Amino acid sequence: MNELIGYLGVVLLIIGFVYALVRQTKHTLALLNSDKTVDYKRSLLGNYLTSIAMAGFLISFVLNLVVSMQFMQSSIITSNNTSASCFIFLTILFIAKFTIVPKNPKKKRLTV
């Protein structure tokens, strides 16, 4: 029973990250197609990094699950490697989301 609850929690976590990745991608595409504001380049770079880091974390997390459940036997891809890549992508995600993306984007248009 405890194993079933653990698997359910992992599946819900993966579903939540897939949903967040889809929403982040839609937000990045909407920002790409919107009017250019003062912080346009910084905001676009931060959203690109956030999307890439979220996708990398999701892939690393699923790969870590596959390796830890021993569905895939490989000497190159180990649990230590996948957990390190999860940590690196999660760090990049937090840095991009909370430091690169401006909190209050200015709505002034650029005069080009």
pLDDT < 50 positions in the chain: none
Global confidence as pTM? 0.82
Supply the DSSP symbol for 77.
S
Q: How far apart are CA 50 and CA 42, in angstroms?
A: 12
Q: Give residue 107's pLDDT.
A: 57
Helix (H, G, I), strand (E, B) or coil at 104: coil
CB–CB of 66/22 below 8 Å?
A: no
CB–CB of 28/51 below 8 Å?
A: yes
